[in-house]
Amino acid sequence: MALLHVVLAWLLACLLLSPVQAQQLQAVPPLKGPVTDTVGLLDASKRDALAQQLMALSRDKGSQVAVLIVATTQPETIEEYSLRVAETWKLGRGKQAANGNGTAIDDGVLLLVARDDRRARIEVGYGLEGAIPDSMAKRIIDQQLLPRFRQQDWDGGVKAAVDALIARINGEQLPEPSAGKAADPFDVWAEDVLPLMFFLGVGGIIASGFFGRWLASIGAGGIMGFSALGILGSPVLAVVLGLLVLGFVLLVTLGTAGSSMQQVGRHTYRHGRGGRGGGWGGGFGGGFGGGSGGFGGGGGFGGGGGGFGGGGASGGW
């Protein structure tokens, strides 16, 4: 019983802190091309040439390499922010682009530069961890990128690192690129956002039997807002979706249906002692799945559903 109280207290703390954390985190920029320079660090002509080089890599090889330059990743470390960007952008080919057995290719790479933090990181997808192990990613940063950055040769450092990454990818045996359809932004809503809204709406109604309708509504809305920020990268949409879930839980718990579900929550709490069943099983397994496609028509750039597990390396100048 004491353990149950500890778990419930921890969950309540997470619910209450989620809105605060969502406001503090740096937003993930939308993925519009292979090179995203939010601070104007690169020369425009060289940035465009680099983007064309990376577009050609995806067309010819199928793999996706993206460059992101930001001012800072604070309050997160560059490792935390880099993984969040990679999971949001879903670089590389996922299960939808896989051949035959349906196994994800996961051949995406992110090169992240945080100018004011003076830090850089290479984030490597699962499928390229053999071609670009952590030691190789570290070598590319230390030998190709950082020496040039110390001389304030930003264009040269990024270009040298990208060239080294492409050389490693070209030496890896990967499935041929397929002419799949472009990633549909509506897939993100259908596969990620809407199911999460439903889950948190129902969960918030049941949780109101434990914490009351106001705490449960605020908690569900806060988690929705925090999650939407990571999925969509838009603070405005995150606030709107969080308020929608908050309002839904609050309104439903005022009606008869909400009262019935509250009773389910109370019953589970009272009779869930002993035995093995109960609880919320599974969690969010494997992260949020990506959509199909990759490079959209008309020169667009979109993630193909690739997965990341934190492989790569970081360094500072």
Q: Read off the pLDDT of each residue in 112-135 and give the average, rounded to a whole number.
A: 94
25-176+307-314 under CATH 3.90.320.10, yes or no: no
Q: Identify the sign of the CA torsion 190, 196, 202, 208.
A: negative
How open is the CA angle 228-314-147, to the nearest 5 degrees?
130
Is residue 125 over pLDDT 70? yes
pLDDT in tens, 13-48: 555 555 445 558 999 999 999 999 999 999 999 999
The mean pLDDT of the chain is: 77
pTM over 0.85: no
Q: What is the band of 110 on the pLDDT scale with cuts at 50, 70, 90?
A: very high
Longest dimension (CA), the chain: 68
57: enclosing H helix or E strand = helix 44-61
Give pLDDT, residue 278. 38
